Amino acid sequence: MISEKMEKLVENNSVIRQMFEEGKRMAGEFGADNVYDFSIGNPNVPAPKKVQETIERLLKEEDPVTLHGYMPNAGFPEVRAKIAGSLNKRFGTAFSEENIIMTSGAAGGLNCALKALINPGDEVISFAPYFVEYRNYVGNFDGILKETALDTDTFQPDLEAFERSVTAKTRALIINNPNNPSGVIYPESTIKGIADILLKRQQEYGSEIFIISDEPYRELVYTDTEVPYITKYYPNTIVGYSFSKTLSLPGERIGYLVIPSEAADYERLFQAVTIANRVLGFVNAPSLIQKVVAECLDEKADIRFYARNRDVLYDALKEYGYSCIRPEGAFYMFIKSPVPDEKEFVAEAKKEHILLVPGSSFACPGFVRLSYCVAYETCVNSLPGFKRLAEKYGVNTF
Amino acid sequence: MISEKMEKLVENNSVIRQMFEEGKRMAGEFGADNVYDFSIGNPNVPAPKKVQETIERLLKEEDPVTLHGYMPNAGFPEVRAKIAGSLNKRFGTAFSEENIIMTSGAAGGLNCALKALINPGDEVISFAPYFVEYRNYVGNFDGILKETALDTDTFQPDLEAFERSVTAKTRALIINNPNNPSGVIYPESTIKGIADILLKRQQEYGSEIFIISDEPYRELVYTDTEVPYITKYYPNTIVGYSFSKTLSLPGERIGYLVIPSEAADYERLFQAVTIANRVLGFVNAPSLIQKVVAECLDEKADIRFYARNRDVLYDALKEYGYSCIRPEGAFYMFIKSPVPDEKEFVAEAKKEHILLVPGSSFACPGFVRLSYCVAYETCVNSLPGFKRLAEKYGVNTF
């Protein structure tokens, strides 16, 4: 009865979301303290105090007709100008409001960018493991997602494999930096390498290939590694940003796209993405929260909270014998499964009330993803379960 | 460079939105008091006081991690339960939270419903004049919008013409009640007539044909006419609702879909629409405002404000000789253009600083739409301009 595309999606419904809803069910059955739900990137750190203060102030000071009303589909011009100014200050760019489109989170933004760029049959590349929804977003516009494997020791792109995967039908590369699910950061050398390959291929094919850089974790970095701002390296870049993680506002659906003036056919592209925002039914990013984030551009959630979670989990898991790369950013760990079929490990972990997501959901079987944006106690209290699982599987021998 | 679908959309960019942005420009040039912008349905009545009070209370009382966090993609269960209860009380229905999906306005909801229902090439019928975006929404999923003309004297559906337009490929009928742009209400007899035709055709074709009922104006009714709740007349109904107009929150993007348990393949349909909400990039309706509307279900914007605008404009325009049906609901008037090419009239009106939208944007040339959700003074001060236009065209002679 439902559409054919949706039939497949219903059958393969997001394992992450199923885990999230299962976690809520288990919390009801066993008590929230006895379930270690590492399934989803739902920040446990409250939004910075300034978010609440700004909402209260705007409600007092602004005309409700403006505050809750329609504005241009790209967003309030003054909000976009403030974001452009903040980016310019931080990254030495030269954006104006005409380079910024406010979107319903990064997910909304990515869909608008893809609608503006992709014709049916066009190819979009992503490095596996990648956020599972990329495949669905590309599929919304009948594009084809092509995976390029990473080196699973470093989780850095294999540039030679990437170069081979670029064809005359390649329309975009989606990258996610810092990375979900691996927690690694692609450094400047990697970005330069990717840009060189794409510039060469564009010339070879006479095509325009875009980097769509999905950056909700840009401010969640635990090391000194710099996260390069890709528009400075490659003109055909669209940056997708979300305030979900930095300001702990994932439910509010607020983010933006950056389309640099140097991008090919910039004016029409900007207009096309703006219209996509309208016709896909977003119309505009939610209005009050647009004005709120514009006042909170220098705020961020307390990163020490996530750093503490990362340290306690990483140190213990390593001690127990698990194999895992130390995350540099975001709030995920991508742990090697002690058995080849990681879904078996996920099922065993669930018996310990530990909820993890199988790597096959990120096109990278044999691993599991752990989201550590949870309470510190959840991390600590999960450790005996992880230890029992390690002993059961003898992980320090694999 | 941009995708082929978007090329067409950029070329034919929404005249309504262009007018809205032109109106903002003109307000800057001539002063807001000297521009009579009737272009867009952006309510000028402030949100009820309880909206602001509820936001302030929730910020104080609720855990920010929940208030701004992820919830199931269909929305907070308690919000959905409250909406179901309110509908049951008002319309004698028997919905539960399992029949409600919170969406990013009605526009977001309609897109999710269409993604769940439509295969490429499927036909979706709408009565012309209709909201211009329906064509784009259906096109997002490669469906084909088929117009069925209304009787332009009454703006009621011509049921015989409608019956002829239903084919084996018909997947849905989108209706909008009270209607944008005509302001009429389809009474129970019309809804029963439509339901009878669809029930017969479903049986004939062995198909499932849905009514998608777009109802953002349900509470904006100036007469005693009842707006039928269509799920009571036809099981394959999806109702799309938005709080944009009733609570004056158009920028906040908050609404819901109702999928009755009697709909064909209900469980999978509900799941498909929920997943569509996720994969189209909405993820969920904005979280704080979900909780706000759940506390404001008995509130509505002061309708007397719109009624006063309607009366002053309708009475004056009739007196000047314009031909127009008296609106029963919503906040639009659909005025017959004094010249066959209504775009000429729109251009002339613009010289009087009066912004109207040509009927061709609603697949009904020869008319213009006027949105009277503006300040009362805007209505009154526009009248001399309308009078001069009437004199110029000699409208009382046509």
pLDDT digits (tens, 9 = 90+) for B28-86: 999 989 999 999 888 889 999 999 999 999 999 999 999 999 999 999 999 999 999 99
Collapsed DSSP state (helix, strand, coil) of residue B124:
strand
Residues B174 and B265 in one domain: yes
List Cβ neighbours of A211 (8 Å cut-off, separation of 6 or more). A172, A173, A175, A194, A195, A198, A230, A234, A236, A237, A238
Whether A61 and A106 map to the same domain: the answer is yes
Separation of alpha carbons B98 and B396, rounded Å: 54
Give the end of a domain, one of A294, A314, A338. A294
Interstrand relation of B332-336 and B354-355 (parallel, antiparallel or unpaired): unpaired
Residues B258 and B336 in one domain: no
> Closest by alpha carbon to B210, among B125, B276, B297?
B125
Whether residue B278 has pLDDT greater than 60: yes
Asked if residue A317 and residue A223 are part of one domain, the reply reads: no
Q: Which long-range contacts (CB under 8 A, 24 or more apart) does A159-162 make?
A: A159/A190, A159/A193, A159/A194, A159/A197, A162/A125, A162/A127, A162/A194, A162/A197
> Is residue B30 within 8 angstroms of chain A, CB to CB?
no
Q: Which two tokens stand for residue B221?
A: 């009714």
Interface check for A362 against chain B (CB to CB < 8 A): the answer is no
Segment B324-328 mean pLDDT:
94
Give residues 194 to 253 of A whose Cβ lies within 8 Å of B.
Answer: 208, 248-253
Q: Return the pLDDT at B362.
A: 93
B6 touches chain A (CB under 8 A): yes
Q: Determine what percent of chain A is predicted with pLDDT higher than 90.
A: 88
Cβ-based neighbour number of residue B121 at 10 Å: 10
Residue B166: Cβ-neighbour burial (10 angstroms; 0-12, 13-18, 19+): buried
Q: Which of B10, B42, B275 sits opposite A69 (nearest CB)?
A: B42
Cβ atoms of B241 and B215 within 8 Å: the answer is yes
Alpha helices in chain B (DSSP H): 4-11, 15-30, 49-61, 64-67, 77-91, 105-117, 133-140, 159-165, 188-205, 266-279, 287-294, 303-320, 342-351, 376-393
**Which of A37-46, A220-229, A273-282 is least confident?**
A37-46
Q: How many domains does chain A have?
A: 2
Position A23 scores a pLDDT of 86
Q: Residues 6 or more apart from B267 whose CB is under 8 A from it?
A: none
**Is the CB of B13 inside 8 Å of chain A's CB atoms?**
yes
C-beta contacts of A11-18 below 8 A and 24+ residues apart: A13/B271, A13/B275, A14/A132, A14/A133, A14/A361, A14/B275, A14/B278, A15/A132, A15/A357, A15/A358, A15/A361, A16/A40, A16/A132, A16/A357, A16/A361, A17/B73, A17/B278
**Residue A286, token pair as written in the block:** 């939610």
- In whole angstroms, give the CA distance from residue A285 to residue B253: 8
Distance separating the N- and C-terminal Cα atoms of chain B: 47
Structure tokens at B24: 């903002």
Residue where a domain stops, chosen among B248, B277, B294: B294
Q: How far apart are CA B20 and CA B309, in angstroms?
A: 19
Any B CB within 8 A of A105 CB: yes
Dist CA A234 CA A241 (whole Å): 17
Report chain A's mean pLDDT, rounded to a whole number.
Answer: 95
Which pLDDT score is estimated for A397? 47
Same domain membership, residue A223 and residue A368: no
Q: Do B64 and A47 touch (CB under 8 A)?
A: yes
Determine if residue A225 is left, alpha or beta; phi over 0 gives left, psi from -120 to 50 gives alpha, anything else beta: beta
Q: Which of A320, A270, A326 is nearest to A112 (CA)?
A: A270
Q: Check residue A396 and give its pLDDT.
A: 60
Among the residue ranges A130-139, A150-159, A247-256, B95-104, the one predicted with the least confidence is A150-159
d(CA B273, CA A328): 37
* Of B301, B47, B254, residue with least CA distance to A289: B254
Q: How far is B193 from chain A (nearest CA, A)?
A: 24
In this model, does residue A334 exceed pLDDT 60? yes
How crowded is residue B99: how many other Cβ atoms within 10 Å of its Cβ?
25
Nearest to A39 by CA among A58, A25, A52, A60: A25
Work out the mean pLDDT of chain B and round it to a whole number. 95
Average pLDDT over residues B316-342: 95
Report B:288-327 residues touching A (Cβ under 8 A).
288-289
Taking phi over 0 as left and psi of -120 to 50 as alpha, with beta for the rest, A299 belongs to beta
User: Distance between CA atoms of A249 and B68, rounded to whole angstroms?
Assistant: 5
CATH number, domain of A283, equals 3.40.640.10
Q: What is the nearest CA distance from B136 to chain A, expressed in angstroms? A: 6
Residue type, B184: V
pLDDT of residue B396: 60
DSSP-derived secondary structure for A285-352: S-HHHHHHHHT-TT----HHHHHHHHHHHHHHHHHHT--BPPP-BTTEEEEEPSSSSHHHHHHHHHHT
Residue B125 to residues A185, B135, B157, B192, B237, Cα–Cα distance (Å): 50, 10, 12, 17, 14
- Do the beta carbons of residue A237 and residue A290 sit within 8 Å? no
Residue of B6, B22, B371 best to disrupt the A interface, most CBs of A under 10 A? B6
Quick one: which of B19, B1, B43, B79 has its CA closest to B287? B79
- For residue B316, the domain's CATH number is 3.90.1150.10
CB-CB under 8 Å, B70 with A253 = no
Suggest the residue from B104, B141, B371 to mutate for an interface test with chain A (most A CBs closer than 10 A): B104
Residues B54 and B42 occupy one common structural domain: no
pLDDT digits (tens, 9 = 90+) for B134-157: 999 999 999 999 999 888 889 999
Domain final residue pick, A278, A294, A310: A294
Percent of chain A with pLDDT over 70: 99
| Residues B212 and B324 placed together within one structural domain of the fold | no
Cβ distance of B69 and A5 shorter than 8 Å:
no
- Residue keyed to tokens 């990258």: A175
Residues B93 and B21 in one domain: no
Q: What is the pLDDT of residue B106?
A: 98
Whether B130 and B63 map to the same domain: the answer is: yes
**Domain around A20:** 4-48+301-397
Structural element, H or E, at residue A51: helix A49-61
Q: Which residue has the tokens 């309880």?
A: B50
- pLDDT of B398 > 50? The answer is no
Q: Answer yes or no: do A79 and A207 share one domain.
A: yes
Beta carbons of A193 and A156 less than 8 angstroms apart: no
Q: Please list every residue in chain A whose beta carbon sits closer than 8 Å to the beta carbon of residue B140.
A: 279-280
Residues B170 and B258 in one domain: yes
What burial class does residue B160 get, using C-beta atoms within 10 Å of its C-beta: 0-12 exposed, 13-18 middle, 19+ buried? exposed
Q: Which of A4, A140, A249 is opposite residue B280, by nearest beta carbon?
A: A140
Using an 8 Å CB-CB cutoff, list chain A residues near B269: 1-2
> Does the structure show a pLDDT above 90 at B347?
yes
Cβ distance B253 to A67 less than 8 Å, yes or no, reads no
pLDDT band per the 50, 70, 90 thresholds, residue B17: confident
* Pair (B283, B365) in one structural domain: no
Q: Is B201 exposed, middle or buried (0-12, 13-18, 19+ CB in 10 A)?
A: middle
Phi then psi for residue B243, to 5 deg, are: -90, 0
Q: Scanning every residue of chain B, which has its alpha carbon at the shortest distance from the alpha carbon of A49? A: B64
Contact by Cβ (8 Å): A84, A95: yes
Give the pLDDT confidence score for residue B397 in this predicted structure. Answer: 47
pLDDT, tens digit, for every residue of A311-322? 999 999 999 999
